[in-house]
């Protein structure tokens, strides 16, 4: 009779432990799913912040900004010199300057595509920087209206700065 009571007590203990470990397992699975969702959300926020940071870097790039010929100071925010845009586009796209593109500008912009599009009075487009990854997981695109100053004719044209950031 005593051995049957001991066996029943042992079975009850094993059942309680089994239920305890099943509950612990469900708790861990729930925690991991909630935690991984938070990590993914934080990663997306970081990616969007990186896109905004790159847009600000391009907007204040001295190689593109309008400057006053007399004082060499910046004339206006969101104003790009059309001659500088054409020159930088030509320099970066030249195969001989691959080292410049891979070292200096890659450190600033990473995997992204930066282009300037003139909309008015005529439509033109210049690719300033283009380094797209082979496999694109996600992309964030930012468009900023800009003024394009043509120093030879001394007139401002309307354009858009397109920035595509790849993850």
Domain boundaries, the chain: 38-166
Q: What are phi and psi of 147, to 5 degrees?
A: -105, 130
Tokens of 43: 């990663």
Q: How many CA atoms lie within 13 A of 96 on its CB side?
A: 2
SS3 38: helix
Q: Which regions in the chain score pLDDT beneath 50? A: none
Instruction: Summarize pLDDT for 119-144 with one digit per residue, the tens.
Output: 999 999 999 999 888 888 889 999 99
pLDDT (0 to 100) of residue 74: 64
pLDDT (0 to 100) of residue 123: 95
pLDDT (0 to 100) of residue 73: 62
pLDDT (0 to 100) of residue 43: 85
Q: What are phi and psi of 53, to 5 degrees?
A: -65, -40
Q: Is 159 left (phi over 0), alpha (psi -120 to 50) or beta?
A: beta
What is d(CA 10, CA 42) in angstroms, rounded to the nearest whole number?
Answer: 48
pLDDT (0 to 100) of residue 72: 62
């Amino acid at each position: 009779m005593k051995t049957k009571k001991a066996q029943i007590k042992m079975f009850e203990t094993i059942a309680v432990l089994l239920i305890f470990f099943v509950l612990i397992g469900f708790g861990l699975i729930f925690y991991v799913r909630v935690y991984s969702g938070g990590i993914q959300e934080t990663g997306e926020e970081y990616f969007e912040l990186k896109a905004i940071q790159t847009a600000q870097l391009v907007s204040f790039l001295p190689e593109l900004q309008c400057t006053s010929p007399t004082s060499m100071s910046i004339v206006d925010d969101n104003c790009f010199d059309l001659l500088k845009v054409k020159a930088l586009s030509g320099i970066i796209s030249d195969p001989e300057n691959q080292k410049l593109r891979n070292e200096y500008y890659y450190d600033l912009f990473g995997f992204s595509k930066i282009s300037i599009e003139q909309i008015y009075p005529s439509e033109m487009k210049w690719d300033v920087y283009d380094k797209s990854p082979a496999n694109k997981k996600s992309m964030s695109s930012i468009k900023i209206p800009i003024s394009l100053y043509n120093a030879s004719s001394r007139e401002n044209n309307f354009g858009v700065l397109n920035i595509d950031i790849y993850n």
